[in-house]
Amino acid sequence: MIVLTSRGGEVGIEAAIEILRRGGSALDAVEAAARLVEADRANHTVGVSGWPNLLGEAELDASIMDGSTLATGAVGALTGYRHPISVARKVMETLPHVMLVGEGAARFAAEIGAETAKLTPEARQGWEAWLAENVGAEARQSWPPRLLAPYAWLTADPERPRGTVNILAQDRQGHLAVAVSTSGWAWKYPGRLGDSPIIGAGNYCDDRYGAAACTGVGEWTIRCSTARSVVLYQKMGMALEEACREAARELLDLPGRQKIAGRVNILALDREGRPFGITVGAEARAGGPRPYYAVWQEGMAAPEMREPEQFVP
């Protein structure tokens, strides 16, 4: 048994561990852990305390995947609800679809009785501070402007948070599951989706080969289908570490990658439950918080914090 989380996921890792210890499923474990991160008001990259879009609205994205069946569920640009990961799971379990977005996702959340929530005061204050720093007083008085797109480039700053939480787990039966949740790019253009709700880009798992999930610049990983690539390279016979490094090479080879500065962190497991983490493009965030991930494996008294490999081609 193993649980692997990205930065910030340690808030929920104990809940996932307890479920696995009791013989519960990896799917239940990753959902439970993600819910606690979504409810963490100190985390401004996930949940209703996450930094909102340019209009001051929290648009939440999430996806979940079951490695035993390849069943998936996802929501994008969901507003007004506390736990997008649970809405995503209900999409997976009760609908003939894989992904719902925007008003449709909110309608479905209401139908299933999902818990509602508003943007926290701390997150709103952060948005107001960003506006005060980047938008003139006259423009703020009539915000939003008719042309909002030019302001999106003001948010393309590698020091701004683009965090996500990844939770990967393997249970006693050897089944893998992954949950991903995020509030997305801080101050993003309304309706922007990153890789978190996109199966194959930010989330993928298959019991036969392994699992992977990503944080960071989703605009890169969408173009490379990074999470699926890590699993596919393992299917082709690569060891976990080399599969992750090959996916990292693809990201660094993207034409025009530097138009958006930042980094991508990849967390992955192989089918034997061995973990690995790798960071790509970390030099673009020099001076920012160092990436880390949390790992718990059966036999460990407590989770262990580890630094990912810094990929240098």
Question: Measuring CA to CA, how many Å separate 159 from each of 7, 151, 258, 285, 286?
Answer: 16, 16, 14, 6, 9
Tell how strand 60-66 and strand 176-182 pair up.
Answer: antiparallel
Residue with tokens 């890792």: 13
Question: Measuring CA to CA, how many Å separate 120 from each of 59, 77, 104, 110, 127?
Answer: 13, 17, 23, 20, 11
Which one is catalytic: 5, 72, 79, 164? 164
**Torsion angles phi and psi, residue 78, rounded to 5:** -85, 130
> CA-CA distance, 250 to 220, in Å (whole number)?
9
Query: Which long-range CB contacts under 8 A does 238-247 form with residues at least 24 apart?
Result: 239/270, 240/210, 240/268, 240/269, 240/270, 240/274, 240/276, 241/276, 241/309, 243/210, 243/268, 244/212, 244/268, 244/276, 244/278, 244/309, 245/278, 245/311, 247/212
The pair of structure tokens assigned to 149 is 């797109």
Residue with tokens 């209009």: 55
Q: DSSP letter for 291, please.
A: P
226 is known as an active-site residue: no
User: Torsion over CA of 203, 51, 277 and 4, rounded to 10 degrees?
Assistant: -70
**Active site (catalytic) residues:** 164
